[in-house]
Amino acid sequence: MPVPPGFDTIGPPIYPTWLFYYYCSHLRRVPDPAFIINTTSTHEAKVRAVLAYESQFVHNHKNRSVVDWLAAEDRFLGSRIGARAGEGFWTREPLGLSSLDSLAAF
């Protein structure tokens, strides 16, 4: 099979060691992610990014609560690691650490 133009220099396929899934659910359940990352410093940027979709989250009255829901979840997940905001992730594979020093303390 011929290689399409421009694809001959891409290189071999990449097979990731781990797959991390953003922990997102529309279900009404308590989130229980595999790990949580402190996102306190980027939380306001996340809110601005969501609000940039004005037709979905500002002008659409049905979806206005999404921003509040995201903020509440960020606070909840952050509270589980001692931070103001957090994002949960999930993985099927064990998460490897080089040492316990790799664990963050807030």
The confidence score (pLDDT) of residue 28 equals: 73
Give the other-Cβ count within 10 Å of 10's Cβ: 9
Q: For 14-33, what is the mean pLDDT?
A: 79
| Of 67, 97, 12, 33, the residue nearest 59 (C-alpha) | 67
Residues in the chain: 106
The confidence score (pLDDT) of residue 100 equals: 76
Mean pLDDT for the chain overall: 84
Is pTM, for the whole model, over 0.85? no
Which has more confidence, 9 or 57?
57
| Of 93, 84, 104, the residue nearest 44 (C-alpha) | 84
Which has more confidence, 8 or 94?
94
Q: Where are the extended beta strands (E) located within the chain?
A: 21-22, 35-38, 86-90
**For residue 104, pLDDT beyond 80:** no
Which has more confidence, 45 or 96?
45
Which has more confidence, 18 or 34?
34
d(CA 8, CA 103): 41
Query: In the chain, where are the structural domains located?
Result: 37-93
Task: List strands edge to edge, sheet with 86-90.
Answer: 21-22, 86-90, 35-38
